[in-house]
Amino acid sequence: MSVKLYPPKPEKVYFFGTCLIDMFYPQAGLDGIRLLEREGIEVVFPDDQTCCGQAAYTSGYHDEARAVAAAQLDLFPDSWPIIVPSGSCGGMMRTHYPQLFAGTPREAQARDIAERIYELTEFLVHVCHVKFADKGEPQKVAMHTSCSARREMGLAETGPALLAQLGQVELVEQVRAAECCGFGGTFAVRHPEISAAMVEDKTQAIEAAGAEHFVTSDCGCLMNIAGRFEHQKKAVRGEHIASYLWRRTS
Amino acid sequence: MSVQHFIPQTYTPQAFHRQAHEALDDPQIRANFRRAMDGLITKRRDVFSDWDLEALRELGANIRLRALAKLPDLLEQLEANCQANGIRVHWAENGEAACRIIRELCEARGAKSVIKGKSMVSEEMHLNAHLEEAGIEALESDLGEYLVQLNEQTPSHIIMPAIHLNTDEISEILHDKTGTERTRDVDYMTAAARAQLRERFMAADVGISGVNFAVAETGTLCLVENEGNGRMTTTVPPVHIAVTGIEKVVEHLRDVPPLYALLTRSATGQHVTTYFNMISSPRKPGEHDGPEEVHLVLVDNGRSGIYQDNELLDTLRCIRCGACMNHCPVYTRVGGHTYGTTYPGPIGKILMPHMLGLEATKDLPTASSLCGACGEVCPVKIPIPDLLVRLRKESVGEGRGNVPGAGVKRSRKELLAWKGWQWLATHPAAWRGSTVIAGKLRALTPAKLGPWTEYRTAPKPAKVSLHALVKAHREELAGEGRS
């Protein structure tokens, strides 16, 4: 395993909000931006951003994914870090952009972008070295780290590390915490029964851990797990970790 | 007591969806696999706890990569050294040819009874059925394989073929087929099976085994096992036929210990197996035991096709430990038979399309959330998720077209949908407009969104998009700046 070296805290960063956040969970994006701004960083949100292209990529539609990814490459001309509030979109841009553009004229540009990609919690922990003061009520919270954050980006620890700073929050761990929630993008549509069995186990595990609330750093998992809890009319609700952190510390 | 899994069933990859549905609805299957996989995950984690696992995996991967890089040369070297040791080497282009070679070897000795050690390659080519047609009885001697054979099933796991069965089911099978007492006493059942098999070892005309590592520099066949049935199979009958895929070759004898260390720990969480056989020749003059003839059948069966592609080639690194299955959240829930293929689970999803074609296996590469658990535990670092994506790409016709059945999932409708998405995501103003419209029409979001909402509440688009929130936020910041 290679050791990732982190730069000192920059003056400016780019923010890539992701399409799921743009459309379904915009507050999480704004809360992520505010968390960064509170650290004294100017956040630049390129207006022309749309989607990283991951869904097409994992579905095998690489020509279409490449076209969409290419449209994002020009949005980050300066050398600032690019912050992504999602392990799966971050993993797509960091790991798969170089593969997607390998052997094309834009390979170098894709590599440059890939090297500047940071997942939000990663950046808050390793670059901003944030210190939080919890202003919320006592609460038992479970964290679901997405598979791409955990395995593709190697970030199993950063989300829990941030939650651990919240004095009133008890972080409970569900059994098989590292197991997939069953979202997997188009997997949930192509193999709905298997996906459902997976998310059912995940919600049961979170509930059994005694969590009153759950957070995740990926809106795909959020949509899946929270959607299952709601469908079962359970009290447990979830939100993006950026919103949770901002809400409790602002 | 009624145990429903006794009905012999034929599973096919084409019926993956139906089989998955049935498995998910079967609490016994769900419980058997969950319990077994949880146990294997724990054992593997514990046994690696005092190792530098990353360094060992890196070493394992490099040994396999080096062997594959030199594969044609190593196979020739293996053949020469085996022949020099007195092991006769046979080449089979496909399963059919391998079956024919083995049948002819049996017939040449007038063999009527064959005893088999565990060999997934022999499953791959349906060897038992082929031999039976020729009037040669083939009996499995690995306990799991024996049970599966008695129950007229196929293995549900490459290391633990009968992992889908629990104690009661096994007791019932042994009672039904061999007349043992119904019991939950595992020692009694094991002893019974052992006694039954012991007779058969003595009477068998030919022993057939697999190979874990074939060492090119020495012409040695390594066989990893726990039950001693492998040693019996390869030493008691007068003829031993080893059958293996061409990718199992390694260059040096010194390549074996790291791979063996990875294999046993990854597979069953064992430091070592009870038996590790190194077969280097038939019985020599003056020796008291061992087979008179030893044969090695090297089977291609689609492997050289995989070898031609520099990405797919990684599939051939596999040392068949099964860790990818044990850690797969899909396999754990649907079990091995659901895949309908010789090799189930993640390795099956990346290997079987080459053997059966993407037409037959089109549901396999998509049956993954790409969670990466398989790639994370693979002892030789096969990038399984990347290979699944590559096969999806082949399926929809955007790959290199060198996997049989490439383009089978090409659909004008689906392509049009992705092209529409591509247009929107490359026209930022239209994209922003679409999020505004979605926000305004959110009340109209259907509560039913196909299969998603059978289990989950439908997500609703937000009233205002992140683009709009950011715009308002900027104005707010500018306002604060002015005041």
CATH number at residue A19: 3.40.50
- Choose the final residue of a domain: A126, A157, A182: A126
User: Going from the N-terminus, what domains does chain B have, and what CATH number goes with each?
Assistant: 51-304 (3.40.50.10420), 425-482 (no CATH)
Domain range for residue A197? 139-249
Please indicate, yes or no, if residue A58 is contained in any of the structural domains.
yes
The whole-angstrom separation of Cα B75 and Cα B246 is: 7
- Left if phi > 0, otherwise alpha if psi is -120 to 50, otherwise beta: which for B410? beta
In a shared domain, residues A222 and A148: yes
In a shared domain, residues A111 and A28: yes
In a shared domain, residues A103 and A41: yes
Q: Select the residue of B330, B392, B451 nearest A60 (Cβ to Cβ).
A: B392
For testing contact with chain B, the best of A24, A38, A190, A224 (most B CBs within 10 A): A24
Q: B425 and A19 in contact by Cβ < 8 A? A: yes
In a shared domain, residues A106 and A148: no
Q: What is the DSSP string of B19-44?
A: HHHHHHT-HHHHHHHHHHHHHHHHHH
Q: A30 and B395 in contact by Cβ < 8 A? A: no
Kindly state the DSSP code that residue A6 receives in the 8-state scheme: P
The whole-angstrom separation of Cα A160 and Cα B477 is: 31
In a shared domain, residues A20 and A120: yes
* 8 Å CB contact between A87 and A218: yes
In a shared domain, residues A120 and A218: no
What's the sign of the alpha-carbon dihedral B202, B203, B209, B214?
positive
The whole-angstrom separation of Cα A28 and Cα A172 is: 22
Contacts of A226 in chain B (CB under 8 A): 457
Contacts of A58 in chain B (CB under 8 A): 370, 389, 392
Q: pLDDT digit string (tens) for B381-430?
A: 999 999 999 999 999 999 999 999 999 999 999 999 999 999 999 999 99
* 8 Å CB contact between A65 and A54: yes
Note whether B20 contacts A: Cβ–Cβ < 8 A. Answer: yes
Q: How far is B261 from chain A (nearest CA, A)?
A: 20
Q: Please state the domain count of chain A.
A: 2
Please indicate, yes or no, if residue A7 is contained in any of the structural domains.
no
In a shared domain, residues A121 and A168: no
- Choose the final residue of a domain: A100, A126, A152: A126
In a shared domain, residues A176 and A72: no
In a shared domain, residues A242 and A144: yes
Please indicate, yes or no, if residue A18 is contained in any of the structural domains.
yes
Please indicate, yes or no, if residue A16 is contained in any of the structural domains.
yes
Residue of A nearest to B388 (CA): A58
Rounded to the nearest angstrom, the gap between the alpha carbon of residue A165 and the centroid of all alpha carbons in its chain is 19
ipTM above 0.95, yes or no: yes
In a shared domain, residues A19 and A116: yes
Q: pLDDT truncated to tens, each residue of chain B (483 aa)?
A: 344 444 446 899 999 999 999 999 999 999 999 999 999 999 999 999 989 999 999 999 999 999 999 999 999 999 999 999 999 999 999 999 999 999 999 999 999 999 999 999 999 999 999 999 999 999 999 999 999 999 999 999 999 999 999 999 999 999 999 999 999 999 999 999 999 999 999 999 999 999 999 999 999 999 999 999 999 999 999 999 999 999 999 999 999 999 999 999 999 999 999 999 999 999 999 999 999 999 999 999 999 999 999 999 999 999 999 999 999 999 999 999 999 999 999 999 999 999 999 999 999 999 999 999 999 999 999 999 999 999 999 999 999 999 999 999 999 999 999 999 999 999 999 999 999 999 998 888 777 778 888 999 988 999 999 999 999 999 999 998 765
Please indicate, yes or no, if residue A4 is contained in any of the structural domains.
no
Please indicate, yes or no, if residue A3 is contained in any of the structural domains.
no
Please indicate, yes or no, if residue A194 is contained in any of the structural domains.
yes
Please indicate, yes or no, if residue A2 is contained in any of the structural domains.
no
The whole-angstrom separation of Cα B29 and Cα B167 is: 13
- Choose the final residue of a domain: A88, A105, A126: A126
Q: A189 and B451 in contact by Cβ < 8 A? A: yes
Note whether B346 contacts A: Cβ–Cβ < 8 A. Answer: no
Q: Select the residue of B54, B368, B467 nearest A22 (Cβ to Cβ).
A: B467
